[in-house]
Structure 1
Amino acid sequence: MMKKHELFAGGHRLAAATWGEIGAGRPTIVMMHGGLDCITTWKDLPQALAEASGWPVLAYDRFGYGRSERLVGGREPSYRREEAGPVLGEVLCHFGIRQTLMFGHSDGGAMSVLAAAAHPELVCGVLACSPTIALDQFMVNAMSGARRAFEHEGLRDKLKRHHGDNTDTMFWGWYEPWASPSALQWDMSAEIAAVRCPVAALFGSDDEYGWRPSAVSLFQNGRMPLEVTALPAVGHHPQQRERGETIAMLQRLLGRIERNPSKNQ
Structure 2
Amino acid sequence: MNGAPENAAQVHFARVRWSGREHRIEHVWLHPARTRRPLLVFLHEGLGSVAMWKDFPAQLCDAVGCRGLVLSRWGYGQSSPRPGHERWPVDFMHQQARDFLPAFFEAVGVDVARERPWFYGHSDGGSIALLYAAFYPEVPGGLIVAAPHIFVEDKTVASIEKARDGYVTTSLRSKLARYHADPDSAFWGWNDVWLDPDFRRWDIRSLLGSIRCPVLAVQGYDDEYGTMAQIDGIAERAPRTELLKLHDCGHSPHRDQPALLARAVAAFVQRHAHHETPGRTGAPPHTNGATRRHT
| Superposed pair shares fold, TM > 0.5 | yes
1:180 aligns with 2:196: yes
Q: How does 1:98-117 map to 2 (within 5 A)?
A: 98-117=115-134
Alignment-derived partner of residue 74 in structure 1: 87
Higher share of residues assigned helix: 1
Does residue 4 of structure 1 match 2:22? no
Contact kept? 2:43, 2:70, Cα under 8 Å: yes
Is the CA contact (8 Å cut-off) linking 2:34 and 2:66 kept in structure 1? no
Structure-2 residue corresponding to 1:149: 166
Q: CA deviation at 1:146?
A: 0.6
The aligned amino acid for 1:95 is G
1:256 counterpart = 2:244: no
- 2:207 aligned with 1:191, yes or no? yes
8 Å CA contact 1:141, 1:179 repeated in 2: no
Tell me the SS of whatever aligns to 1:201.
strand
Q: In 1, distance between residues paired with 2:124 and 2:145? A: 10
Cα gap change, 1:111 to 1:264, in 2 (>3 Å): farther
Q: Percent identity?
A: 28
Q: Measure the CA separation in 2 of the matches of 1:171 and 1:156.
A: 8
Paired residue for 2:102?
Answer: 89
Other-structure match for 2:289:
none
Deviates more, 1:73-82 or 1:175-184: 175-184
Q: CA deviation at 1:261?
A: 3.1
What is the root-mean-square deviation of aligned Cα atoms in Å? 1.8
Q: Which amino acid aligns with 1:82?
A: Q
Which stretches in structure 1 are left out of the alignment for 5+ residues?
A: none
Q: Which moved more, 1:172-181 or 1:92-101?
A: 92-101
* Equivalenced residues, count: 263
**Quick one: distance in 1 between partners of 2:31 and 2:98?**
25
2:232 is matched with: 216
- The one-letter amino acid of 1:83's match is Q
Equivalent in 49, 54, 61 of residue 43 of structure 1: 54
Unaligned segments of structure 2, at least 5 residues: 1-7, 281-295
* 2:177 aligned with 1:160: yes
CA distance 1:23–1:232, change in 2 (3 Å): closer
CA drift at 1:107: 0.6
TM-score by length of 2: 0.84
Q: TM-score, normalised by structure 1?
A: 0.93
Task: Quote the residue 1:32 is aligned against.
Answer: 43
1:7 partner SS: strand
